A and B are shown apart, each in its own frame.
Chain A
């Protein structure tokens, strides 16, 4: 049975590699057509199976989450998927490329969400304090665009602050410390009532059109489609950015540090510096995702950022295939979409995520869509183990 699954899996991976080889070999104009087709598909996903004129396509319609009883708004689910893809791509920089296990990613996500809440909402104690100090009108708050900058800068700084003392530690210690960091952020958000409103949370978080109100034409509370398009635009920008980064000197340095830190250091790659870069980059992307999440939700409180989500994020990356951007995006979409579409199973989703992590790690540690380089690395280690039955 297991052998059968293994051989099927091998054939599947063989198919994937051949597809990717063929894609690489295509002439440029055909690639361009492919990319445009993909973009059109991604942007029209909210209309999947249900065209604007009220036309239904039965087969595709069943894929929508609102096709079942009590299912969530389809565009809303797509928005969450896009946010998770953003998170997965950010975490992939840290886990997949630089090989640092970050179990406190939710901390950065929370900082991103809280930066738009604290500076952008008129209900936040921070904005109220600024209004008082500078005699500003009670409707004053920092605009959305500047909040975006604040979110990215704050998360980058917190990434560096967390990374500076901890990145010199061994990898497994780092994991536990980051886990503690995620908890600290949540507890601070809950306890520092004077700054964050504590468990009460912060409402009236602005979107691109300003604070939530009935006058907003595009980014309203009800129609999630514009939010999805906004998020997916960010995802595409980030994909291009990270892709460029991956193939730059920095990206190569990350891979070198991941595969062998000492060898990298000997070759003149200063591991600490590049690890810190990876941490800051990853943190900023997590913050961006949290920022979008907070501004779509228009309300946040500390319970939305518990440690389970950090583990879900790691699960997305490792199940999808750490190191491979397509893999981690697929992992993110699967883990966000499946529990929404199959609501009967939603109670058991955490169990399923846990099982998926364990099974993937034991049976194919490189993930569903592996990065070729990572797969070779793991194969090498396994071969070494067979030659000399060594000890961990």
Chain B
């Protein structure tokens, strides 16, 4: 137990946790949106994120990005990366819904069948990117996909440097970018769901699908919309991840997805602002925990948090409802 270390650098650990939690929160949005409308855990959402990171990787290798490009180019690469990752992740999420979930919905399958399908899909994606694509594209993208199932590094787009220090807390440029852009994306989504016509449709279907259908809301379109929105958020998370950590792997989604799901449950699954809160909270708890014990216990902490939350407050911190997401 390293209490002194934790208390002495509390600010630093909090900042680290926030920038970590911001990525969890972005992924958690995908779980929350789908759950809010369909009452379904989209287990394969972690793979939507994974596809996003690989699309960024492919883009950057195809563009021939070198380490530490000039600032103008760096911004261009990041924006292009965001677009490509959003398209790839959104497309993947949409494909999941069309290929797998829609036929099951038609049959009114029990929830467990959805979950098992999603697990199968997740395995398929992990293997596609770990085994099949490296073999197919190995010649085309030698740098990106050399050996199956290995960690693949990416170029450093932005050199990490300390921007400013408050007390003994150093805030780096990357942490700031990650946190600010994640919160901005979430604010945008929150605005979209709460203020626009489409958002009203989403909330209506989440509250009561039959009534919404009677009022002329196209249910299928709303369902497609939420999958795409969740995918875009996962794409944004993928870009931020690539920028911050600079690597990806076919199995990267598993633990990250589980943590994002924990974040969603923690904040109240189905609740957008809950996802933000849950993500940030989980990020902080994890960093604190890793400091207190040791960093190799980090993953255990997230799962223990999940179990404890589900035991004592299964509706999460803010309660679970997308229909009443304004609360």
Mark A residues whose CB is within 8 Å of B.
99, 101, 103, 165-166, 169, 171-173, 175-177, 179-181, 183-184, 187-188, 190-191, 307-308, 311, 314-315, 318, 347-348, 350-351, 353-358, 361-362, 365, 378, 381-382, 384-385, 390-392
Judge whether B123 and A357 touch: CB under 8 Å: yes
- Measured between beta carbons, the chain B residues less than 8 angstroms from A351 are 123-124, 127-128, 131-132
Question: Given A176, A355, A384, A385, which contacts B124 in the complex, CB threshold below 8 Å?
Answer: A355
Check: B189 CB closer than 8 A to any chain A CB. no
Tell me the complex Cα distance, A5–B150, Å.
38
Judge whether B108 and A390 touch: CB under 8 Å: yes
- Measured between beta carbons, the chain B residues less than 8 angstroms from A180 are 258, 262, 302-303, 306-307
A172-B112 contact in complex given A179-B258, A391-B209, C-beta closer than 8 Å: yes
Tell me the complex Cα distance, A187–B296, Å.
8
Question: Given A99, A187, A307, A384, which contacts B112 in the complex, CB threshold below 8 Å?
Answer: A99
Judge whether B123 and A392 touch: CB under 8 Å: no
Check: B79 CB closer than 8 A to any chain A CB. no
Judge whether A172 and B41 touch: CB under 8 Å: yes
Q: What 10 A-B pairs come out closest when comparing CB atoms?
A: A357-B120, A385-B108, A354-B123, A180-B303, A351-B127, A354-B124, A358-B120, A391-B209, A361-B117, A165-B311
Could you list 8 examples of A-B contacts with CB < 8 Å? Answer: A172-B111, A188-B300, A311-B123, A348-B132, A358-B124, A361-B104, A382-B107, A385-B106
- Measured between beta carbons, the chain B residues less than 8 angstroms from A392 are 38-40, 105, 108, 111, 114
Judge whether B40 and A357 touch: CB under 8 Å: no
Judge whether B107 and A381 touch: CB under 8 Å: yes
Q: What is the interface of chain B mostly: helix, strand, loop, or mixed?
A: helix
Report the minimal beta-carbon distance from A15 to chain B, rounded to whole angstroms.
Answer: 24
Check: B254 CB closer than 8 A to any chain A CB. yes
A357-B117 contact in complex given A172-B41, A179-B258, A385-B106, C-beta closer than 8 Å: yes
Report the minimal beta-carbon distance from A302 to chain B, rounded to whole angstroms.
Answer: 12
Q: What is the interface of chain A mostly: helix, strand, loop, or mixed?
A: helix
Mark B residues whose CB is within 8 Å of A.
38-41, 43, 100, 103-117, 119-124, 126-128, 131-132, 148, 209-210, 219, 254-255, 258, 261-262, 265, 294, 296-297, 299-300, 302-304, 306-307, 310-311, 314
Judge whether A166 and B310 touch: CB under 8 Å: yes
A381-B109 contact in complex given A165-B311, A169-B310, A355-B120, C-beta closer than 8 Å: yes
Tell me the complex Cα distance, A353–B40, Å.
23
Tell me the complex Cα distance, A183–B262, Å.
14
Report the minimal beta-carbon distance from A295 to chain B, rounded to whole angstroms.
Answer: 28
Judge whether A311 and B119 touch: CB under 8 Å: yes
Tell me the complex Cα distance, A183–B300, Å.
8
Judge whether A362 and B117 touch: CB under 8 Å: yes
User: Chain A CB within 10 Å — which of B40, B113, B302 has the most?
Assistant: B113
Report the minimal beta-carbon distance from B243 to chain A, rounded to whole angstroms.
Answer: 27
Tell me the complex Cα distance, A250–B124, Å.
37
- Measured between beta carbons, the chain A residues less than 8 angstroms from B265 are 173
